[in-house]
Chains A and B, each alone.
Chain A
Amino acid sequence: MSIAASVLDAVRAEAALQGGGRVTRAGLRIGELSGVAVESLRFCLEVLVADTELAALGFEIEFAPWTRRCRGCAAVFRVTDARPACTACGSGDTEAAGGDQMELSFLELEEP
């Protein structure tokens, strides 16, 4: 719920920065390691926008997978089944590369 409220704060703040036009769509990028479950976020957003000026706003939520980078061959690979070893060369020497995003990725606005 707090995350959803922060999403709406971010939408309102960015919309104001863009001239204050009515927001029709908003994009979110949510990483697999962000600690946020996309379905419950979607539900909370719907509850929070009801009866506000954002009631008609549609959210497009893009899922950003958990990735690591190989220190040996530099491949960036998706981590499946929590296996940290490089999927290209098999090396176990890998580092975190992505999946913690929780970002507003775009806004679609009507001309103010």
Chain B
Amino acid sequence: MLVPLERKVLNENDRIAATLRQRFQRNGTFCLNLISSPGSGKTALLERTLAGFDAARRVAVLTGDIQTDNDARRLARYGFPVRQISTGGACHLDARMVERHLTDWPVDELEILFLENVGNLVCPTSYDLGEEARAVLLSVTEGEDKPLKYPATFHHADLMVLNKIDLLPYVPFSMELARENARRVQPEIEILEVSCTSGEGLERWNDWIERHL
């Protein structure tokens, strides 16, 4: 007996993600999923962002890590609620992990929820977390060809943040080519250039966030 089907493999994840998305929308929470290779600067960008926020703002972070809680400790210094998601080996966050870590948290009052995904440019791509926007970070030390090598990741991103531009004098990296490659894969992608070390470009990053609130 041959039974034709059209069942999404991740339909359970998608279902939970849809519930989360509804909840975020109902409460006016802007949820951002940050994806990159390990070391591109996701935690650094969040540190800079939290450091710039007024203490009264209702902002929280969930940060995914396979093993350690270093990132959560780095981020907790800024006084906003931060929670670590230990994935126990998995190289990505999924919607259920996010849902589980939001219990007994004042989620419904948040204006921004940042999700720092596990450092990996492949696996997080397939998992909807209920986010409103997805940002991929690419640092200038990684090479301009990454959008072409990982088209799925860039294709599903709303924003590409080119980080570590303070290092441009020391590494061969063409910003023009990186932008062009990203736009080939995703013509609608927005692109920002920042340095979390010097602070250059962070104003535009902050504007980008505020535009989504």
Contacts and interface: CB of A to CB of B under 8 A. Distances in A.
A82 B185 contact: yes
Interface of A: 1-3, 6-7, 9-10, 14, 18, 21, 27-28, 32-37, 66, 82-84, 92, 94, 96, 100, 102-111
9 closest A-B pairs by CB: A35-B125, A35-B152, A104-B7, A82-B184, A35-B126, A33-B152, A102-B9, A107-B3, A106-B4
B153 A6 contact: no
Contacts of A110: 1
B143 interface: no
Contact of B3 (A9, A18, A92): A18
Contact of A14 (B7, B94, B185): B7
Given A35-B122, A103-B8, A2 B94 contact: yes
B185 A2 contact: no
A96 B155 contact: yes
Contact of B1 (A36, A82, A92, A109): A109
Contacts of A106: 2-5
Interface of B: 1-13, 90, 92, 94, 122-123, 125-126, 147-148, 151-153, 155-156, 181, 184-185, 187
A59 B195 CA distance: 46
Given A2-B92, A105-B4, A110-B1, A33 B151 contact: yes
A27 B3 CA distance: 10
A64 to B, nearest CB: 12
A67 to B, nearest CB: 12
A34 to B, nearest CB: 6
Contacts of A6: 9-10, 12-13
Nearest to A66: B151
A18 B3 CA distance: 8
B155 to A, nearest CB: 5
Contacts of B156: 33, 35, 100
Given A1-B90, A108-B3, 19 more contacts: A2-B123, A3-B10, A33-B156, A34-B126, A35-B123, A36-B126, A37-B122, A82-B151, A84-B184, A84-B185, A92-B187, A100-B156, A103-B7, A103-B9, A104-B8, A105-B6, A106-B5, A107-B5, A109-B1
A105 B90 contact: no
Given A34-B126, A82-B151, A28 B4 contact: no
A94 B155 CA distance: 14
5 contacts: A2-B123, A6-B10, A35-B152, A103-B9, A104-B9
Nearest to A31: B152
A108 B1 contact: yes
Nearest to B147: A82
Contacts of B184: 82-84
